[in-house]
Amino acid sequence: MTGSTPDPSPRSYPLSVSFVRRAGPIVVVSDSVDTFAEIETWLLEEASAERQMIDLLVKLIRRMKAAGSSIDRLTLHIGTLHPQLVGFAWVWSADDGFCDEVRVADAAIDSDAYKLNPLQRIVETGETIRRAPNEPSAQAEFPIMTELAATGMTDYVAIPLSGLDTRNAITIATKVAGGFAEAEIDCLIRLFKLFALHVQRHSELKISENALGAYLGFGAAAKVLQGAIKRGAGDSIRAVIWVSDLRNFTKMSDAMVPADMLVLLNAYFEAMASAVAAHGGEILKFIGDGMLAVFPVTVGVAEASRSAVSAAREAITRLEASNRKIQVTSSVEGRPVLRAGIVLHEGEVFFGNIGAPDRLDFTVIGAAVNEACRVEALTKTIGRELLMTEAVARHLAHDVVHLGEHQLRGVSARVSVYGLAK
């Protein structure tokens, strides 16, 4: 974890695992004692109101401990559908009481830590796995047992959660001498069968968020999931508009095989999109070699303008770095070089659903979008990678240079265009 204050309970995760958030510490209220039967009732009734998995899990753990459970460590794992993630996990330890939520990247499934983990066995066989961490045979079979034994764990159980995704599982461990009592294991497994229904619900919601976010952008995805799905539904917003395309795309497409062109396009869009996202922008769509994004005006036009320009600077730097690493097999004249044309303009746009009744697109439209697209054509004639209109440039003090007034196709008034001062 990072932050301005010291981490009260530092934890380390593999490179393929990234921290999302933390809840806790979990405190068990001594005068509020649950029974396992009462927890089952809670899972069947009130628990369905919980919107976040981490909140639901924390409440479940608190209730299980209040009911006298000997669990000292619990992890929950769910699979997901995402271009870069294999799933999410939640890790709770009685040592500090905190519950961490983490993302697990696709690279994790190729690691030895996963291949030699009980979770991988569960995915393959669907069986429940129980081991004593301090036994040499268990440590030889699953290296994680050595780590658990070092923390004092005496018993470990990994349980598959019924549902559509075989990657959903929960693990529990205890420090109690002799391990879990059989009666407690029976009660916990019965609870987890009910809990699995909530896991499936949250997993499907997370998949919806991930899939829509990957294809629509997370801002648009949030609006769709909140119910903005009718044609014409949306809002008028002020935003700095980003329009960009790849220089010499047609020439490179004619000279390169499609597989190599995809390598270039992916490198180009990764540089553009990652820079936009890093500075608070929302990527709306890719059109051939072009990209449309917005930086909504939430605090002020000046802040949105400066964020957009910072993103453009970073994108150009990222492209330069990509050019040093790209390797293609096509026989082309010289090494292919990625260069962008980026235009920033500010104005009012309509952000919402547009299209046919059964095929909609969530995007932005308006005169400001059209003007930005017209200015983008000037990046080729002026020979600049980044151009801005006066609406954006006026907020950048001495960092810009005036490049003249230009007549845009379909726009009556001439438009002042600016670039970054060199």
Q: What tens digit of pLDDT does each residue of 250-297 get? A: 777 777 788 888 888 888 888 999 999 899 998 888 888 889 999 988
Q: Which has more pLDDT, 358 or 138?
A: 138
What is the structure's pLDDT at 4?
Answer: 47
What is the structure's pLDDT at 213?
Answer: 65
Domains identified in the chain and CATH numbers: 17-215 (3.30.450.40), 230-420 (3.30.70.1230)
Q: Which has more pLDDT, 287 or 172?
A: 172
Residue range 292-347, pLDDT digits in tens = 999 988 888 999 999 999 999 999 999 888 888 877 666 556 667 788 889 999 98
- Among the residue ranges 147-156, 160-169, 304-313, 370-379, the one predicted with the least confidence is 160-169
| 35 pLDDT more than 50 | yes
Residue range 388-405, pLDDT digits in tens = 898 899 888 778 888 888
Radius of gyration of the chain (CA): 27
Distance CA 248, CA 340 (A): 9
Distance CA 217, CA 230 (A): 18
What is the structure's pLDDT at 3?
Answer: 46
Count the helix, strand and coil residues of the chain and give each as a percent rounded to the nearest 5.
Answer: 40, 25, 35
Core vs surface per residue 200-239: b (16+ CB within 10 A) or e: bebbeebbebbebbeebbebbbebbeeebeeeeebeebbb
Distance CA 381, CA 413 (A): 19
pLDDT above 90 as % of the chain: 35
Distance CA 262, CA 223 (A): 31
- Coil, strand or helix at 416: strand
Token couple for 334: 């010289």
What is the structure's pLDDT at 162?
Answer: 72
What is the structure's pLDDT at 332?
Answer: 58
Angle at 56 between CA 54 and CA 57, to 5 degrees: 65
What is the structure's pLDDT at 315?
Answer: 93
Which residues on adjacent β-strands are paired with residue 418?
388, 402
| 27 pLDDT more than 90 | no
- Give 91-112 as a DSSP string: EEETTT--EEEEEEEGGGGGSH
pLDDT band for 1, please (50, 70, 90 cuts): very low
H/E run at residue 77: strand 73-79
- Among the residue ranges 158-172, 200-214, 307-321, the one predicted with the least confidence is 200-214
H/E run at residue 312: helix 301-323
pLDDT band for 167, please (50, 70, 90 cuts): confident
List CB contacts of 375: < 8 A, sequence separation 6 or more. 243, 343, 345, 387, 389, 406, 408, 415, 417
- Among the residue ranges 145-154, 269-278, 353-362, the one predicted with the least confidence is 353-362
Average confidence score pLDDT of the chain:
84
What is the structure's pLDDT at 170?
Answer: 95
Distance CA 276, CA 53 (A): 29
Q: Which has more pLDDT, 379 or 144?
A: 144
Q: Which has more pLDDT, 121 or 212?
A: 121
- Coil, strand or helix at 359: strand
| 2 pLDDT more than 50 | no
**Residue corresponding to tokens 């396009």:** 265
Mean pLDDT across the stretch 78-105? Answer: 87
What is the structure's pLDDT at 90?
Answer: 95
Residue 171: name the closest of 138, 145, 135 by CA.
145
Region for 410 from its dihedrals, namely left if φ exceeds 0, alpha if ψ lies in -120 to 50, beta otherwise: left
pTM given for the model: 0.62
| 149 pLDDT more than 80 | yes
